[in-house]
Structure 1
Amino acid sequence: MLTAPAGLMIYVATRPVDFRKGADGLALLAKETLGHDPMKGVAVVFRAKRAPIG
Structure 2
Amino acid sequence: MDRLLVAIGRDLGRDARDGGAYVFRNRSGTRIKVLCVDAQGVWLSVRRLHEGAFHWPRSGDAAWSLTREQFAWLVAGVDWQRLSRATSALPKII
Shorter-chain TM range is 0.3 to 0.5
Q: Which has the higher strand share?
A: 2
Max Rg structure: 2
What is the TM-score of this pair, normalised by structure 2?
0.29
What is the TM-score of this pair, normalised by structure 1?
0.45
Query: Larger RCO: Structure 1 or Structure 2 (Cα < 8 Å, ≥ 6 residues apart)?
Result: 1
